[in-house]
């Protein structure tokens, strides 16, 4: 309790004299108790502008400047193979231990606060019974959520199932890791309890971002899809020797197909609940008169940036986030020239695997659609003044990505991207005309991210002022449930049901693509087996590029080693000063000249290491494979 009291914000001192604070003061009225409730939410990991790997950087879709190091961007510890048990850049367990530039999250401390509220909220005299129930539901949701984050990054974890007595023995305090399946069942149970206590949505704007029943159903569906996936479902290649010290296997050793059925049912339950409570895929009514392609592009882009709080589609969100401004500033094309960091600058860059992943305008992969199959997509087209690769792509590509001689709408003005070396948005050149490798903020691939850019943002050089358009950042949105259902349906039944088709088509229709069947009818019909699995993975990845999903998905699918093989990553020759020299395909390593090679090692880099400091405290902990 002394630790809990000392950790509460300074506002606590405005309520209770610091020489007389005690446990009872937490619960004397709703005001003091609610401050503890809000405190509990502050333990949520940051997911905007990177404080965890993959959020949103660290996959094969988005990264920051090649010149920056792990000390500037902690997520790069996993890209560069620098995360070790003794030098951790991400400690999710306590507010200490991370290396310089690293990130600490005390998730177990947040969990203790949640249990503290559950056990004592009934003592608050001026709270209504319904409010007490809702607070307990929020606590159960966050207990599940904080365990989930550790499960996602560490695999099997030590479960915290309640407040530990001050008189507890070492045997009770220092426990081994629970099995993966035990963790999943416990977290799912937390979400179930939360769903039974919470409202479907928060109707008061001051509560936006707090837990709801819709969020609990949705996060349970994500959890169970994760559990059914190949990474932890019978993965003996990685985890046959992954045991506690007593020999107990932490990962089930036999593939269990029924886990996909459990995920399928959870997705359907979450979808029915969300839809019955008014959630839907966001569409901006102002775009309705537009032609299908333009409407789809704008609806998809507006979904992400138009509303301050998108309670139409977002089931759980990170609201009022100050890092949103930093994300926009680093993503927008450079606003000052010669090179300057005063205005918007080029730090965020789209990677080629993401560019090549987007469909054609017909809703088919580049290597399948007759429109693009067999063509040299990497040659320069003088009529459009860009590469063929950038032509005839789907609406989501143009909603989220721009390129040399493409456009970006900023300051309510459409600006042409001037991306040749030596131009305002291109690679900086030294006085002798060679690439200035000493400058941090240069785009190294030739592709810029526009997903977070709202047309209203601007920079006024005369006053050195920025104007941002703030939006909430989605933790999970309804489109994920639709695509998760289709994936689980295929994995369990081997084919797609009519319901799965309807869900796929909801996602496609919103972004201006033909239906799944209509797209594939161009090439003789929908593929089957492994080919269909690959397409379902592509459908999901495209929808969520740059939102932090690729890092998780390519790992749970056991595709990360292939996806992160940097020898397959292309770039344009961004050192080129004209079309002839610029539009040459190079390897990523030809441009990344700063001595930070991207690497991936299986099974090591599928999980973060358990900090050695924690193993020294709790001798029953075992390390993750590969470390």
- Residue 9 tokens read as 């914000």
598 HSE (CA, 13 A, CB side): 29
Region 17-27: mean pLDDT is 67
> What pLDDT score does 22 carry?
73
Q: Hey, which residues does 571 pair with through a beta bridge?
A: 586
Quote the pLDDT of residue 367.
Answer: 98
End-to-end alpha carbon distance in the chain: 35
Residue 21 has a pLDDT of: 57
Q: What is the mean pLDDT of the chain?
A: 94
pTM value is: 0.95
Residues sharing a CB contact under 8 Å with residue 388, sequence separation 6 or more, in sequence order = 375, 376, 377, 378, 379, 380, 381
**pLDDT tens digit sequence for 302-327:** 999 999 999 999 999 988 788 999 99
Q: 471, 516, 495: which is closest to 320 by C-alpha? A: 471
Per-residue pLDDT tens digits for 370-403: 999 999 999 999 999 999 999 999 999 999 999 9
- For the chain, the structural domain boundaries read 322-469
Structural tokens at position 440:
């941090």
pLDDT at position 13: 28
pLDDT for 17 equals 38
User: For the chain, what percent of residues have pLDDT higher than 70?
Assistant: 97
Tokens 């690769």, residue?
389
Please give the pLDDT value at position 49. 87
- pLDDT (0 to 100) of residue 199: 97
Portion of the chain with pLDDT greater than 90, in percent: 89
Question: What local confidence, expressed as pLDDT, does residue 12 receive?
Answer: 28
What's the burial of 84, exposed, middle or buried (CB within 10 Å: 0-12/13-18/19+)? middle
Tell me the pLDDT tens digit for each residue of 554-568. 999 999 999 999 999
The rounded distance, in Å, linking the Cα atoms of 404 and 181 is: 48
Where does residue 565 rank: exposed (0-12), middle (13-18), buried (19+ CB within 10 A)?
A: middle
Q: Is the pLDDT of residue 14 over 80?
A: no
pLDDT of residue 574 exceeding 70: yes
Query: Binning pLDDT at 50, 70 and 90, where does residue 169 land?
Result: confident
Reduced to 3 states (helix: H, G, I; strand: E, B; else coil), residue 168 is coil
Instruction: Give which of 248, 266, 254 is closest to 189, Cα–Cα.
Output: 266
**Model confidence pLDDT, tens digit, residues 252-302:** 999 999 999 999 999 999 999 999 999 999 999 999 999 999 999 999 999
Average pLDDT over residues 84-102: 94
Which distant-in-sequence residues (6+ apart) come within 8 Å of 170 by Cβ?
none
CA–CA separation, 549 and 541 (whole Å):
7
pLDDT beyond 80 at 78: yes
The per-residue pLDDT for range 325-343, each reduced to its tens digit, is 999 999 999 999 999 989 9
Residue 8 pLDDT exceeds 50: no
For residues 337 and 329, what is the distance between their CA atoms, to the nearest angstrom? 16
pLDDT band at residue 204 under the 50/70/90 scheme = confident
Residue 223 has pLDDT above 80, yes or no: yes
pLDDT of amino acid 23: 77
Please count the other Cβ atoms lying within 10 Å of the Cβ belonging to residue 177: 25
Mean pLDDT of 23-27: 86
Cα torsion through 51, 56, 57, 59, rounded to 10? 130
């Amino acid at each position: 309790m002394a630790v809990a009291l000392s950790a509460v914000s300074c506002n606590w001192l405005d309520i209770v004299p610091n020489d007389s604070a005690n446990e009872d003061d937490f619960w004397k009225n709703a005001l003091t108790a609610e401050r503890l409730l809000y405190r509990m939410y502050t333990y949520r990991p940051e997911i905007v502008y990177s404080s965890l790997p993959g959020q949103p950087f660290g996959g094969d879709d988005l990264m920051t400047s090649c010149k920056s190091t792990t000390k500037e961007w902690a997520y790069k510890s996993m890209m560069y193979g620098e995360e070790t048990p003794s030098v951790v850049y991400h400690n999710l367990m306590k507010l200490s231990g991370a290396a310089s530039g690293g990130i600490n999250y005390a998730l177990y401390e947040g969990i203790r606060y949640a249990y503290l509220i559950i056990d004592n909220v009934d003592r608050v005299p001026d709270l209504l019974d319904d409010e007490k129930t809702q607070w307990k539901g929020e606590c159960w949701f966050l207990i599940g959520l904080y365990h989930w984050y550790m499960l996602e990054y560490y695999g099997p974890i030590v479960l915290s199932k309640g407040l530990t007595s001050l008189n507890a023995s070492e045997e009770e305090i220092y426990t081994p890791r629970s099995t993966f399946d035990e963790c999943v069942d416990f977290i799912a149970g937390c979400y179930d309890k939360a769903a039974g206590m919470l409202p479907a949505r928060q109707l008061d704007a001051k509560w936006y971002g707090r837990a709801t029943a819709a969020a609990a159903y949705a996060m349970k569906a994500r959890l169970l899809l994760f559990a059914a996936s190949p990474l932890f479902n019978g993965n003996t290649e990685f985890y046959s020797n992954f045991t506690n010290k007593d020999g107990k296997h932490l990962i089930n050793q036999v593939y269990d197909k029924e886990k996909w059925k459990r995920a399928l049912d959870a997705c359907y339950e979450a979808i029915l609940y969300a839809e019955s409570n008014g959630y839907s895929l966001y569409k901006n009514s102002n775009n309705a008169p537009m032609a299908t392609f333009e409407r789809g592009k704008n609806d998809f882009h507006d979904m992400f940036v138009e509303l301050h709080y998108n309670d139409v589609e977002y089931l759980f969100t990170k609201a009022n986030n100050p890092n949103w401004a930093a994300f926009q500033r680093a993503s927008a094309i450079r606003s000052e020239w010669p090179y300057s960091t005063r205005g918007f600058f080029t730090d965020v860059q789209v990677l080629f695997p993401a560019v090549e992943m987007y469909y054609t305008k017909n809703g088919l992969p580049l290597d399948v659609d007759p429109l693009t199959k067999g063509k040299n997509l990497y040659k320069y087209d003088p009529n459009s003044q860009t590469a063929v690769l950038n032509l005839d792509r789907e609406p989501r590509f143009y909603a989220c990505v721009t390129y040399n001689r493409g456009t970006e709408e900023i300051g309510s003005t459409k600006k042409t991207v001037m991306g040749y070396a030596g131009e305002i948005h291109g690679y900086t050149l030294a006085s002798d005309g060679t690439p200035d490798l000493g400058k941090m903020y240069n785009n190294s691939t030739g592709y810029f991210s526009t997903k977070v850019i709202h047309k209203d943002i601007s920079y006024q050089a005369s006053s050195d002022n920025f104007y941002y358009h703030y939006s909430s950042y989605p933790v999970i949105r309804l489109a994920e449930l639709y695509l998760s259902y289709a994936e689980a349906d295929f994995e369990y039944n081997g084919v797609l049901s009519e319901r799965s088709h309807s869900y796929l088509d909801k996602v496609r229709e919103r972004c201006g693509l033909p239906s799944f069947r209509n797209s594939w009818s161009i090439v003789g019909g929908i593929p089957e087996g492994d080919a269909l699995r690959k397409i379902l993975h592509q459908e999901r990845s495209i929808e969520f590029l740059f939102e932090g999903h690729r890092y998780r998905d390519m790992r749970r699918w056991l595709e990360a080693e292939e996806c992160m093989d940097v020898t397959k990553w292309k770039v344009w020759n961004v050192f080129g000063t004209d079309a002839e020299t610029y539009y040459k395909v190079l390897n990523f390593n030809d441009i990344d000249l700063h001595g930070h090679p991207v690497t991936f090692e299986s099974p090591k880099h599928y999980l973060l290491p358990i900090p050695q400091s924690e193993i020294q405290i709790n001798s029953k902990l075992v390390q993750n494979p590969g470390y």
